[in-house]
Amino acid sequence: MITMPPCRRAVIAAITIIACVLVQGPSRAQDVSKLESLTVEQARELLAKKPPPVHDFFGVWLSLDGLATLTPEVAEVLVEPAGGLSLNGLTELSPQTAAVLAKHKPIGGFGYADLRLNGLKTISPAAAEALAAHQGMVMLHSLEKLDSLPLAKKLAAQWGELRLGLTELSPEIAAELAKNEGVAEDKTRPGVVHRRADRASSVLRLDNLQSLSPNAAEALAGHKGVLVLNGLVALEPAVAASLAKRSGTLVLNGLPSLSTPTAAALAEFPGELVLKGITKLEPDTAEALAAHKGRLHLTGLTAISPETRAALQGHANLLLPRQVPSGP
């Protein structure tokens, strides 16, 4: 009998495992993610077989994105095991099912988002209030309207980037979302708080907002961290003045141009200002913007006239394109 060295046995075992994953894992995972419906019995059978999870930046997931509907009874089965649950195929959520999903166990460890509902564009007040009791992280990237203060408070308490698809924003909801601090308490170790690796207090991304009232902008002024509003294609001076009252980073890459009054208002903002969508800047506007004291990103400029270039020289921390021709 030939005895194989332990190191070689380990290598062969590892290769065998990898081969099994490559042959069986993806196909099985793909089949699970494409399931369009589930009964209670099927859900129990599915979990008993322990389907291969999906791995990504946020952790380990059971992906059931093919489900278009979910009954409370099936949801009761799916929330039993701890782990990420992706239900991006749902476009409707009843209050009863939301209440069951709220029982989903939080993940012990920073960086694990454990409930994805990124297919929901609307949610009823009753379902929103029920979902607000969820203790882990909920993703609602496509949610277009949020009028539930309990859900807004729950979302604001989540760690890391808070991304919503809101197309309208009331001052009341804005005030709650602005409280997001980008931290999370480890539910398995009470009192242990985690922060983002880049130390930013929060990233609040509302890229689908095409307009913003001065009152909502005033409410967002309480947010500290990175505020991304790339959906705005125009900015009134009054709204700009309200946004300038906040600290951190302000990203407005959807703006194709700036008026001089708006530039003057934004120049009062003390933090990092990102305006990569602007392709042309008039000298008067450049002069107003040059009064800004933080880092200024204007890397989208396609041409800079000598007058505009001279006006921008007054800015001490300016980022321009590496090569940009001088305009007329």
Number of structural domains (the chain) is 1
Nearest to 281 by CA among 244, 318, 312, 247: 312
Per-residue pLDDT of 23-77, as tens digits, reads: 333 344 446 788 999 999 999 999 888 776 665 545 567 889 999 999 999 999 9
Domain coverage including residue 86 = 25-139
Whether 249 is covered by a domain: the verdict is no
Give per-residue pLDDT as tens, 164-196.
999 999 999 999 999 998 765 555 556 666 555
In a domain, 328, yes or no: no
pTM (predicted TM-score)? 0.83
232 found inside a domain: no
Residue 312 belongs to a domain: no
Q: Looking at the domain assignment, is residue 35 inside a domain?
A: yes
Annotate 143-171 with DSSP letters as a single string. ------HHHHHHHHTSSSEEEB--S---H
User: What are the percentages of helix, strand and coil residues in the chain, rounded to 5?
Assistant: 35, 15, 50
* 68, amino acid identity: A
Q: Which helix (H) or strand (E) holds 138?
A: strand 138-139
User: Where does the pLDDT of residue 4 fall: very low under 50, low under 70, confident under 90, or very high at 90 and above?
Assistant: very low
Quickly list H helices, the chain. 6-33, 40-48, 72-78, 95-101, 125-131, 149-156, 171-177, 214-220, 237-243, 260-266, 283-289, 306-312
55 in any annotated domain: yes
283/280 Cα distance (integer angstroms): 10
Residue 79 is assigned to a structural domain of this protein: yes
Whether 68 maps to a domain, the answer reads: yes
Structure tokens of 304? 């800079």
